[in-house]
A = this chain, B = another copy of it.
């Protein structure tokens, strides 16, 4: 049972390599809402997960608004039918976007491989100016 139950803002900042300003900014945007002990913020494991999701979103080029939406998707409130259907629609849109990103990444990987190969060729050409 070594799992910490709470975190300070500094701990999280170090773990995720962001500034405390960034974490406070996310709170301002209602992305996390830590408890307080006096003035001091006290973060729960849930807050930590939320942070992780936001940063993953950033790596994929999502705005904070988009990440917020994604996070909310994970908690379908005991909603009404229409809201659930709307949610499924958004989920499908995200899936489409992710598939597009996958295709983009694969194309880019191929091009990087080619570029790397051209580097290799140029380097060996430097070693042997002629076919010795």
Complex contact A111–B59 (CB within 8 A): no
Whether A12 is near chain B, meaning CB under 8 Å from some CB there, is no
Complex contact B111–A60 (CB within 8 A): no
Instruction: Kindly state the interface size class of chain A when it binds its partner.
Output: 35 or more
- Which of chain B's residues have a CB closer than 8 A to the CB of A61? 58-62
Total identical chains: 2
Complex contact B60–A115 (CB within 8 A): no
Complex contact A56–B88 (CB within 8 A): no
Chain-B contact segment, one of A2-10, A16-24, A40-48, A79-87: A79-87
What are 14 A-B interface contacts by the 8 Å CB criterion?
A58-B61, A60-B101, A60-B105, A76-B119, A79-B122, A80-B126, A84-B123, A88-B116, A91-B119, A94-B108, A94-B112, A98-B105, A101-B101, A102-B102
